[in-house]
């Protein structure tokens, strides 16, 4: 997105990165065409005494809060279609590839499905689903979060003559994966811990004064 001012800093784009959980090799990058106007985050506190009502544990936390993220993004091929020679894919397919890239985040690999079907047909008693790619939500360099896509809603609003979508709204619901959600040593755990420590550093960089609250000291 341009601002109209030649010296204005370039606005970064948010997006999703799929990586191999074992090697961290990047499998796919999905860049949001337009950043959403708002980003909604909900943190559910994990208190150890919340369920039991034990007063001894009322201030204890059994882990990081469960965080969910929700955002609405727009996809539009309008600008590309104004320059068809420079964007032949948009002319041929509209925004279908961008939608498919998001949908692929919630599908198992077809090769895995076919392999499991073959194992089942051969009489295998135990078939474990292969581990999917690790999904990362990237919102600037300071927020790289391991997530699971919990919700994906697509509203296709306009189409070309071949019925390819050329404008759509996408709603993404993401559930952040914490250290309690994955095995010890998992790549997601390391990424979440880095985020946790980043929050602590940011929080330590700011502090208010009791005088601003109208008190000199606590009773």
The domain limits of the chain are 15-109+128-204
- The answer to whether residues 48 and 57 touch, using CB atoms and an 8 Å cutoff, is yes
- Whether residue 89 contacts residue 97, with contact meaning beta carbons closer than 8 Å, is answered with yes
Query: Residue 27: which residues within 8 A CB-CB, separation 6 or more?
Result: 18, 19, 20, 133
Q: What is d(CA 76, CA 165) in angstroms, rounded to the nearest whole number?
A: 9
Residue labelled with tokens 């799929």: 18
CA 18 to each of CA 27, 72, 158, 175, 201: distance values in angstroms, whole numbers, following the listed order: 5, 20, 28, 15, 27
Alpha-carbon distances of 112 from 16, 60, 77, rounded to whole Å: 22, 42, 33
The Cα–Cα gap between 74 and 79 comes to: 13
SS3 assignment, position 173? strand
| pTM for the full predicted model | 0.86
Cα→Cα distances 41→63, 65, 189, Å: 18, 11, 20
Block residue for tokens 């032949």: 88
Position 1 scores a pLDDT of: 47
Nearest to 171 by CA among 80, 106, 108, 90: 106
Say how many CA atoms lie within 13 Å of 140 toward its Cβ: 8
pLDDT for the residue numbered 29: 96
pLDDT for 5 equals: 57
Q: 142 is written with which tokens?
A: 């300071």
Mean pLDDT by 10 residues, the chain (219 residues): 60 94 92 94 84 70 93 95 95 97 91 86 77 93 96 98 97 96 94 96 91 91
pLDDT of residue 6: 60
**Residue in 131, 139, 167, 135 with CA at minimum distance from that of residue 150:** 135
Distance of alpha carbon 49 from its chain centroid, rounded? 30
């Amino acid at each position: 997105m341009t601002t109209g001012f030649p010296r204005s800093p370039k606005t970064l784009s948010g997006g999703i990165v799929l990586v191999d959980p074992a090697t961290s090799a990047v499998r796919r990058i999905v860049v949001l065409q337009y950043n959403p106007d708002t980003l909604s985050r909900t943190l559910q506190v994990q208190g150890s005494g919340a369920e039991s009502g034990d007063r001894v544990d009322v201030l204890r936390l059994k882990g990081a809060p469960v965080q969910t993220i929700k955002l609405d993004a727009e996809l539009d091929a309008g600008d590309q279609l104004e320059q068809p020679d420079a964007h032949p894919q948009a002319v041929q397919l509209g925004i279908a590839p961008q939608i498919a890239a998001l949908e692929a985040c919630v599908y198992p690999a077809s090769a895995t499905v076919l392999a499991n079907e073959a194992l089942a047909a051969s009489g295998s008693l135990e078939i474990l689903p292969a581990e999917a790619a690790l999904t990362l939500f990237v919102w600037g360099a300071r927020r790289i979060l391991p997530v699971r896509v919990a919700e994906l809603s697509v509203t296709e609003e306009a189409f070309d003559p071949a019925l390819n979508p050329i404008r759509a709204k996408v709603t993404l619901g993401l559930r952040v994966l914490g250290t309690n959600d994955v095995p010890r040593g998992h790549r997601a755990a390391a990424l979440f811990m880095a985020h946790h420590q980043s929050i602590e550093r940011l929080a330590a960089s700011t502090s208010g004064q009791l005088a601003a609250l109208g008190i000199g000291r606590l009773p």
